[in-house]
Structure 1
């Protein structure tokens, strides 16, 4: 992959200041090519990036260090490819977000980001066998149409969605809430490795960023942004799953929910969405009919 000097600079900046692209917009408006940054004073960087005085001083020090490194080569040595906002391979769908990732870090089959249709499947970390059974009806028709499955590689429904896609011979994209030097949950290391080799892992965080409580809600907007439609299997009424749904609704995505038993707490989320206008789902063909 080739990079312009502008793209390389954004990768350098994001590596030391991993925030969404909108946080760099003042800087880009002032200096669209992001050149000559070494001449900027810490006071000016404080103004352009909204940093505290202490962070602005540290930012300038780190920038001077990182700009001397072959950063892209170092990332590629761990099979990590950065895709900056300005790059033609950056997904156009993510540019519709109010806070798109400034850089995506990916491992695996990048062509999955070029697919016209992708379907996000999400749900509770405590999802039951009911979610697995539902996926047996939902995923195969999507796989037959070469539609990748997007999810967050969390425990429960996310893991089931990735596994179903692979089991039925399809493609899947895992959106992580941390950098590639970490894996959360730890028990998903094997499936993550398989996806990095044969499917696709995506994150907006440089490799050194660990999982944190705030990174996972941020991750959810990328799942929504990459998906043409969102499917919810099981979920409580208030959860990270519902945050993803809110992002999807904000951007006009189709929402499908698997109806559940009225005595199950994990049916509260999907059933509430159905009451609010989500489409009931029992077959992947319903998604295909609507999207195509």
Structure 2
């Protein structure tokens, strides 16, 4: 595959294709494997396009019309204006670790020091409303990891995320903040100064285009990138329905390590880590526990064949979800009850299926099978 991503017009078309409703990342990768570059995709005939699995005539017409859209060129210009970089998943600067997760983002928008992608990283995540205990253990673990030369990854949210980023900057370390919005819509707004400090030695990264607001639906998707950029995820303090647990379950799905800090059985803020420990996460009281558990992670940095990234493999749990949704739409609470799965674990599975184009999430956390599946 030629380096079409280094050509502005091709990247613009690629970005346009990524915005077509109903054509997910897996099908776009299939199209690229078949036609080699975006310009050949949009110039293909309806008959050629509909021979690709999951592409009906309506989708084929949408693909052909992508050539006239302004979105891609507009995004590239904003990147230039704001000193940012846009990386296609085929770009050799795209992090190898992230290529190895199920359904890696088609595109990454970044600003800061892109070389940080190549560093050894651990994620630290948790509640937005930490107790003094949660704050102190997060500060302790972050400082010890930074002193050991580890890059810290988190989500720039209030609470544990902010503490992890702030402490890393304070001790001169590298940190990556993964956003649930566009680079130009920093959230929360009080962290704009922190974001600027992060970029001096670290990186801001998102899969969401410029102008994307921090809608709630974006954050579970964001979480898979947090875990995907790392060798392991540490949950320091979180409730039983916290988004931090989604990140932990994503890490498990990605074959990465999960670590949890134990807490009081009487505190709701510690229910999440305590549950993870019951389920097999490594109990952590110091960074020694993290380093003792980590396997050799060299394969996370070695090249991966992009052509193999779109293979769709369903676990038994995912097959159960698909079978249930064949009967019609279901709310997340009903799915959780029928399948006897916790909400965070189920949302992690549903996110993977959504990214593969198998299911769609409708308003109110209602899920249905994609019509093209």
Q: TM-score range by the shorter chain?
A: 0.7 to 0.9
Deviation larger for 247-256 or 63-72 = 63-72
What CA distance in whole angstroms lies between the structure 1 residues aligned with 2:73 and 2:287? 47
Task: State the match for 1:167 in structure 2.
Answer: 170
What SS does the corresponding residue of 1:233 show, helix, strand or coil? strand
Q: How far off is 1:4 after superposition?
A: 2.9
Alignment of 1:130-169 (within 5 A): 130-169=133-172
What CA distance in whole angstroms lies between the structure 2 residues aligned with 1:193 and 1:226? 21
Is 1:20–1:102's contact at 8 Å kept on the other side of the alignment?
no
Deviations 1:175-202 (A, max 9, x none): 0111112122222222122223432000
What CA distance in whole angstroms lies between the structure 1 residues aligned with 2:112 and 2:16? 20
Q: How far off is 1:204 after superposition?
A: 0.7
Q: How far off is 1:263 after superposition?
A: 1.3
Task: State the match for 2:213 in structure 1.
Answer: 210
What CA distance in whole angstroms lies between the structure 2 residues aligned with 1:43 and 1:218? 33
> Which blocks of at least 5 consecutive residues in structure 2 are unaligned?
297-373
Alignment partner for residue 112 of structure 1, among 107, 113, 116?
116
Is 1:84–1:104's contact at 8 Å kept on the other side of the alignment?
yes
Task: State the match for 2:253 in structure 1.
Answer: 250
Task: State the match for 2:312 in structure 1.
Answer: none
* TM-score where L is the length of structure 1: 0.87
Does structure 1 residue 268 correspond to structure 2 residue 267?
no
Does structure 1 residue 102 correspond to structure 2 residue 106?
yes
Alignment partner for residue 30 of structure 1, among 28, 34, 41?
34
Deviations 1:39-73 (A, max 9, x none): 24578667759578777656644532449948645
Task: State the match for 2:323 in structure 1.
Answer: none
Task: State the match for 1:82 in structure 2.
Answer: 86
What SS does the corresponding residue of 1:231 show, helix, strand or coil? strand
Q: How far off is 1:5 after superposition?
A: 2.1
Alignment RMSD (CA, Å): 2.7
What CA distance in whole angstroms lies between the structure 1 residues aligned with 2:50 and 2:213? 25
What SS does the corresponding residue of 2:205 show, helix, strand or coil? strand
Task: State the match for 2:332 in structure 1.
Answer: none
Deviations 1:86-120 (A, max 9, x none): 111111111122211111111001111011x2000
Alignment of 1:183-198 (within 5 A): 183-198=186-201
> Which blocks of at least 5 consecutive residues in structure 1 are unaligned?
none
What SS does the corresponding residue of 1:259 show, helix, strand or coil? coil
Change (3 A) 1:49 1:222: farther
Is 2:41–2:63's contact at 8 Å kept on the other side of the alignment?
no
Matched length: 289
Deviations 1:243-291 (A, max 9, x none): 1111111122121111111211010011111112211111123223333
Alignment partner for residue 203 of structure 2, among 200, 205, 221?
200
Q: How far off is 1:213 after superposition?
A: 1.9
Alignment partner for residue 287 of structure 2, among 251, 268, 284?
284
Q: How far off is 1:206 after superposition?
A: 1.5
Task: State the match for 1:13 in structure 2.
Answer: 14
Is 1:38–1:64's contact at 8 Å kept on the other side of the alignment?
no
Change (3 A) 1:216 1:140: same
What CA distance in whole angstroms lies between the structure 1 residues aligned with 2:91 and 2:76? 14
What CA distance in whole angstroms lies between the structure 2 residues aligned with 1:93 and 1:121? 17
What SS does the corresponding residue of 2:39 show, helix, strand or coil? coil
Q: How far off is 1:12 after superposition?
A: 3.3
Alignment partner for residue 242 of structure 2, among 239, 251, 254?
239
